[in-house]
Amino acid sequence: MMSTIAAPEFAMYHDEWHLSPILDTGEFVFFSGQTDTRPDGTVSADPETQFRDAFTSLGKNLAAAGLGFSDIVEMTTYHVELRRHLPAFMKVKDEHIRPPYPAWTAIGVVELITPGTIIEIRIIARRSKPGA
């Protein structure tokens, strides 16, 4: 049985965008893309702050699902000006993502949904691990 989950500050996306911020399928949990847009709708002008805000949002949604960063098995990131901002993104990513690292694909894009955003992070997490 599938269920929709969202951290309280992101629950409005279910009704406004007709999506599941988090879709829990039991073993695997799918997270819609997390951007650097803060719950109040603002976006920092500083790239490193945007990356921190995106990982903060992701952490809140992981916690809402009873998971943490170590449960991530796959991550896809979408970047405006990928090569320009990759060193700053890697720095912030490495503060949250630790070995064993998830599978990761980084994709450069022209724009994202909210004006001014430069990052979107989509993940799949696994609720149970073999041998755990």
pLDDT value for 25 = 93
Peptide bond into 99 cis (omega under 30): no
- CATH H-level superfamily of 3-126: RutC-like (3.30.1330.40)
- Write down the pLDDT at residue 17: 63
Domain boundaries along the sequence of the chain = 3-126
Model confidence pLDDT, tens digit, residues 27-45: 999 998 888 888 788 899 9
Contact yes or no for 128/27 (Cβ under 8 A): yes
Q: Please enumerate in sequence order all residues whose Cβ is within 8 A of that of 126, keeping only pairs 6 or more positions apart, or say none.
A: 27, 28, 29, 71, 73
Q: Does the structure show a pLDDT above 50 at 132?
A: no
Q: Which residue has the higher pLDDT, 4 or 85?
A: 85
